[in-house]
Chains A and B, each alone.
Chain A
Amino acid sequence: MSHDPGLQPERTLLAWRRTVLAVAVVAVLTIRLALLRGGIGEWISVVAALGWLATTLASLRHATRRFHQPGTGGATLPLLAAATVGFAGLGAILILGTLG
């Protein structure tokens, strides 16, 4: 791969890493809220943790492949968005549960 003076492959890799960090923050906040809830929250915290692990592994794997082969597939992108929506959904379930 010829050298890109704009360093776009490097910047894209860093962008993925920043995103993985943002996912970590959301995951930790979700797990904390879930454990504070107790009851169904314990199951939710497990789901959140597994989702967090899967998202992080998929993202870093994609980012590394993207760095070496810019043309690689983009299926990880909708998956990342789905995980984000998933965390929002888990949070909503936890919060609605306290309203009843």
Chain B
Amino acid sequence: MIRLWFDPHELRAVGRTPDYRFSLANERTFLAWVRTGLALIAGGLAVAQFLPPLPVPRLRELLAIGLLLLGGAVAVRAVDRWARTERAIRLGEELPTSRFPAVLALLVGAGALLLVATVLIQSASTR
């Protein structure tokens, strides 16, 4: 499957060329995932340079690196999804499903709640 990432010609050896609009839609989905990855990476870079040091030593750096890793993983996954979907479209198969979007949404939601809690605790303790 990894070969398919780098050799689009091999992708075209499989199945039949679909209506170009399906390929365009797949490409836009890929780009949306890449932007999601870039947003996570931007978040990590922002935590690293704009967040004041946290009470727990190195926690800020750990958080930043965690976001960078997640962003990178999302970008890699995006290529895999794009290749698998393109292949499924060409073969007329069911599109691949995934739980990852839901998992990511939960992670981001949990992170946001954690941030709210941190802000409230810090503002309460400085009063």
Contact = CB atoms under 8 A, between A and B. Distances in A.
Nearest to B27: A12
Given A80-B34, A84-B41, A87-B38, 11 more contacts: A15-B32, A19-B38, A66-B24, A71-B20, A78-B79, A84-B37, A84-B38, A84-B75, A85-B75, A88-B44, A95-B64
B34 A88 contact: no
Contacts of A88: 41, 44, 68-69, 71-72, 75
Contacts, number: 116
* A interface majority secondary structure: helix
Contact of A29 (B42, B69, B76, B82): B42
Contacts of B8: 73-75
Interface of A: 4, 6, 8-9, 11-12, 15-16, 18-19, 22-23, 25-26, 29-30, 32-33, 36, 66, 70-71, 73-75, 77-78, 80-81, 84-85, 87-89, 91-92, 94-96, 98-99
Interface string B93-127: 00000000000000000000000000000000000
Nearest to A59: B31
Contacts of B89: none
Nearest to B63: A95
Contacts of B79: 77-78, 81
Given A70-B20, A78-B79, A95-B64, A84 B48 contact: no
Interface of B: 5-6, 8-9, 11, 17, 20-21, 23-25, 27-28, 30-32, 34-35, 37-39, 41-42, 44-46, 48-49, 58, 61, 64-65, 68-69, 71-72, 75-76, 78-79, 82, 86
